Chain A
Amino acid sequence: MILSSLFALLFLFAVAVLVLGTAYKIKQYINVPAPLKIPTTPAPTTKSGVVWRLFREVVFFESLFKSTKWTWIFSWIFHMSMFVVLARHIRYFNEPVWSWVALIQPFGIYAGFTMIIGMLGLLARRIFVDRVKYISSPSDYIMLLLILSIGATGLLMKFVEHTDIVTFKAFIQGIITFNWQPLPTDPLLLVHLMLVIILMIIFPFSKLLHAPGIFFSPTRNQVDNPREQRHIAKWAEKFETSDGQ
C-alpha cells in the first residue's frame, strides 16, 4: 500500500508539474509581444490561412517534409504512432470508455511498434549523421531513450509479462476520485509508470515545449498583412510619443 500511495502521489505531482509548468510557459509566450511582423513568406494573408498553415505543420510536418525526407518519415511515424498510443491509453482514465477509444484499441497495438521503429530511425540519425551528432547534447539522446524505454516496457507488458489491467484501472480511477486503490506491483508496470512520471515532469523544462511552442512561433502564426494593418507592441509605444509623431 505504501508503494501504491507513493506512486499515486508521484503521479499527481507529475501531472501538476506538467499542467502548471506548461501553462506557465504558454502564459509567458502569450505575454511576450512580437513587436514586428516576421512571418516566413510566402505566408497566408488571412487568419484562416494561418490556421490552415499551422494545421499542415502540426499534422503533416510540412516544413520538415520539405527539408529532409528521412527525418520526416521517422519523425512522422513516431509522433502519429505516439498519439494513437496515447489515445489508446485513455481507456484507463475514463469509465465508461468512449466508443472511439474502444474502436482504436487494435490499431494502438501496432502503433506501439511503429512508434519504436520511428524512434530507432531518429536515434540512428542522431548517432550516424555527423551534423546531427555535432548538435546533440546528452539530453537529446536521453530524451529519445526515455520515450523508447516507455514504449518498450509498455509493449513487454502487452505481449510478454501481462499486468493486471483491471486492478490497474481501479488504481487510476482511485487517483482520479481520491479513493486510493492498490497498484499491481509488476516491475514492468512500475518502470513504465516511473518513466512516464519523469517524462511529465521534464516536459515543461525541456525541448518538449516544441509541442505548445509551435503555435507561438511568429514566423508561422502571423498573418501577412503589415501594409494593411499597423502592428505595434506595447513596449514600442513609448517611442511614439517621445518624438511627437
Chain B
Amino acid sequence: MAKVEFDVPEIKEFVEVPKIKDGAMAHSSPFVAKPDHQKALGFPGELVENWEDVAIGKMGDLLGKYRSFRVFLDICVKCGACTDKCHYYLGTSDPKNMPVARQDLLRRVYRRYFTLAGKWFPKLVGAVDLNKEVLDEWYTYYHQCSQCRRCSVFCPYGIDTAEISMAAREILDSVGVGQKYCNEIIGKVYKIGNNLGLPEPALLDTLEGLEEDIEDETGVTVKLPLDQEGADILLVTPSADFFAEPHVDGLMGYAKVFHAAGASWTLSSYASEAGNFGMFIGSYQNMREISQRIRKAALDLGVKRIVFGECGHAWRIAYSFLNTLAGPFDFLDKNYPVPQHICEYTYDLIQKGAIKLDKEANDDMVVTYHDSCNVARATRMGDKPGGQFSIPREVIKASCNHFYDMKRDTIHEETFCCGGGGGLLTDDLLELRVKGAYPRMDALRKVVEEHGVTHMAAICAICKSQFSKVYPYYGFTLDQIVSLHQLVSNAIVLKDEQ
C-alpha cells in the first residue's frame, strides 16, 4: 500500500480546541464491502435500485425499535456542549466530526421524512432530502466515529452519537453499502470462529508454543487448554491474544493466573473470539448470532463460569448485552456474575491472597493506564459503579511499584478513545486513526514528561493494536504499549503444582 501523506497533529502545551476547517476529512472513507461479504451477513451485495425508499424504510423501522434513536433525534437542542469532546474533531478540525454535526447528517433526513416541521419548513429546521450526496456523506462520516460515547457523557441529555452511528451503518448495510473491514470480519467469525480467521489447528499450535514459552521462562508447566470438556471456566478472549505482541503476553498472564489459582479452565475453538463486530454495524441480529456461539460453547463444554479476556467492546457486549442476547445463563454457577472480566477474576484472587505478586519484577517500568472507552463508559466491574476504573488500577498497582495516572479529564469516564475503535482499525483509515489518537497521545506525553512514564497498559485488543500502529507517529516505540495481564504475568509467583 502506498504511504499516505498527511500531517500528524503537533503536541502542544494544552490541547487546543481547533477552529473548524470545513471538509478537512471529506476524503477519508473506508473500503466498501464486496458483494460476497455483504451477502454472507444477509445484506444486499451492492447499492439497491430503490435505495432511497429502502433507506427511509429502514430508518422508520429503527425508529420503532430503538428508543435511543427516536429520542436522540428529537431532543438535541444544539447547545454545542459536545462539539469539542470528540477526539476526531480535536484531531482533524473537520466540523462534521463534532458529535452533534455527525448526528445532524442523519437528523436532517429524519426531520424531512418523519417530522411535520421538516416536511413543511425544511429550510427553517435544516431538513434535507435524501440523495446520493447525503448517502456518501453518511458513509464517510459515520465511519469517522469510533462509537466511544465520550460525547454522551457531556451531553445534557446523554445523547449518544454511537447509537446514531450504529443506526446509520445499519441503514447503509440495508441498502447495500457496507464497510469491508467489519463485514469481512463478521463473515470470518461465522466461517471459522474468530475475527482473525485462525482455524483450530493453528490455535492448538499457538497455545502449545505459548506453553513452551512459559516453561522456558519460568520452569513451570502452565497449560493453555483448548476445548476441554468439563472444565470449570470458559475463557473467551479476543483472537488477537493468540496472534501478536503485546496481546499474547496478556494471554500468558491469564494462563498463569488460572494456574496459580489452581483453576480448571479452557478456551473454545468454536467461540475463539470475544470481539463482536455486530455491534459496530448496529446489527442486533448479527450481534446476537455471534453471542450465541459463546452460549453454545459453554453448554457443549459443560463449564460452570464464563470469563472474558482483555477486550473493550467485547466487555461491553459481555457485560451489558450477553444476558439479553444469549441468556438466560441459569445453567452456570450462580455464585459468580455471568460473565466475569479477567480483571475481576484476578482482583478477587489478589483480595483473597490466593495469588502472590512480586512487584519488583516490573521495576523496569513506570506505568500509566489507558481506560478503554467501552469499558469506561458502557460497563462496570465489581459491584460498585466505577469499579471499571478502580479494579484494573488495583491489579496494576498490585503488580508494579511505579504507577501514575494521566490527567483527570483524559481518564475514567472522560477517557479519550485510542482512535481505532468502533470498526475503524483498518489501514484504509490510517490518517483518521493517527489524527484521532492525538488527544490520548498528548495526555501520555504529559505523564511521560512529568513522571517518566515508560509504558501504557490497556485492556483492549483494539486499543493495543491501534497504539502499536500510531505510537511511532508521535515518537513512542511499539513496546511501550503493554497488556494489563502482561504486568501480572511478569509479577506473578508460580509454583509447580505437580
Chains A and B belong together in one complex: yes
Q: A34–B385 Cα gap in the complex (Å)? A: 21
- Is A103 an interface residue, CB under 8 A from the partner? no
Contact B124 A213 (CB under 8 A): no
- Contact (A63, B83) CB under 8 Å given A140-B78, A218-B67, A224-B380: no
Contact A213 B74 (CB under 8 A): yes
Contact of A67 among B85, B338, B377, B388 (CB under 8 A): B85
A/B interface sample: 23 pairs, CB < 8 A: A25-B74, A29-B67, A35-B284, A36-B320, A38-B378, A42-B413, A61-B156, A64-B156, A66-B154, A131-B17, A134-B20, A135-B101, A137-B126, A139-B126, A142-B124, A205-B116, A205-B117, A210-B76, A218-B71, A224-B385, A227-B337, A227-B338, A245-B292
CB-CB under 8 A from B85, the residues of chain A are: 67
Contact B155 A33 (CB under 8 A): no
CB-CB under 8 A from B63, the residues of chain A are: 32
Contact of A44 among B117, B126, B385 (CB under 8 A): B385
Residue of B nearest to A36 (CB): B321
Residue of B nearest to A43 (CB): B385
Q: A29–B68 Cα gap in the complex (Å)? A: 9
| Most interface-central of B76, B77, B123, B125 (chain A CB within 10 A) | B77
Q: Which of B422-449 contact A (CB under 8 A)?
A: none
Contact B98 A63 (CB under 8 A): no
A-B contacts besides A38-B320, A140-B78, A217-B71, 11 pairs, CB < 8 Å:
A129-B80, A131-B17, A132-B79, A134-B95, A135-B83, A205-B117, A217-B72, A217-B159, A220-B158, A236-B284, A245-B326
- Is A98 an interface residue, CB under 8 A from the partner? no
- Is B160 an interface residue, CB under 8 A from the partner? yes
Proximity bits, B376-413, A CB within 8 Å = 1, else 0: 11111001111011000000000000000000000001
Count of interface residues, chain B, beta-carbon cutoff 8 Å: 76
Q: A67–B85 Cα gap in the complex (Å)? A: 8
- Is A96 an interface residue, CB under 8 A from the partner? no
CB-CB under 8 A from A205, the residues of chain B are: 115-117
Q: Nearest Cβ in chain A — how far from B407, in angstroms? A: 15
Residue of A nearest to B85 (CB): A67
Q: Which of A23-68 contact B (CB under 8 A)?
A: 25, 28-29, 32-38, 40-45, 57, 61, 63-64, 66-68
- Contact (A29, B155) CB under 8 Å given A36-B320, A45-B385, A205-B115: no
Proximity bits, B109-131, A CB within 8 Å = 1, else 0: 00000011100010111100000
Contact B75 A207 (CB under 8 A): yes
CB-CB under 8 A from A187, the residues of chain B are: none
Contact A135 B80 (CB under 8 A): yes
CB-CB under 8 A from A130, the residues of chain B are: 19-20
Q: Which of A53-88 contact B (CB under 8 A)?
A: 57, 61, 63-64, 66-68, 71, 75
Q: A44–B380 Cα gap in the complex (Å)? A: 11
Contact A131 B84 (CB under 8 A): yes
Interface residues on A, range: 35 or more
Residues on B lying within 8 angstroms of A by beta carbon are: 17, 19-20, 63-68, 70-72, 74-85, 95, 98, 100-101, 104, 115-117, 121, 123-126, 149, 152-160, 163, 284-285, 288, 292, 295, 319-321, 323-324, 326-328, 337-339, 376-380, 383-386, 388-389, 413
Q: Nearest Cβ in chain B — how far from A168, in angstroms? A: 31
Q: A245–B155 Cα gap in the complex (Å)? A: 39
Q: A211–B126 Cα gap in the complex (Å)? A: 21
Q: A168–B44 Cα gap in the complex (Å)? A: 64
Q: A205–B127 Cα gap in the complex (Å)? A: 13
CB-CB under 8 A from A34, the residues of chain B are: 66-68
Contact B385 A38 (CB under 8 A): no
Q: Nearest Cβ in chain B — how far from A207, in angstroms? A: 5
Contact A40 B79 (CB under 8 A): no
- Is A209 an interface residue, CB under 8 A from the partner? yes
- Contact (A135, B100) CB under 8 Å given A32-B70, A38-B378, A226-B320: yes
CB-CB under 8 A from B159, the residues of chain A are: 217, 219
Contact B380 A219 (CB under 8 A): no
CB-CB under 8 A from B284, the residues of chain A are: 35-36, 236
A-B complex: 5 closest residue pairs judged by Cβ atoms: A137-B126, A213-B75, A219-B158, A42-B385, A132-B80
Q: A220–B72 Cα gap in the complex (Å)? A: 12
Residue of B nearest to A25 (CB): B74
Contact A75 B79 (CB under 8 A): yes
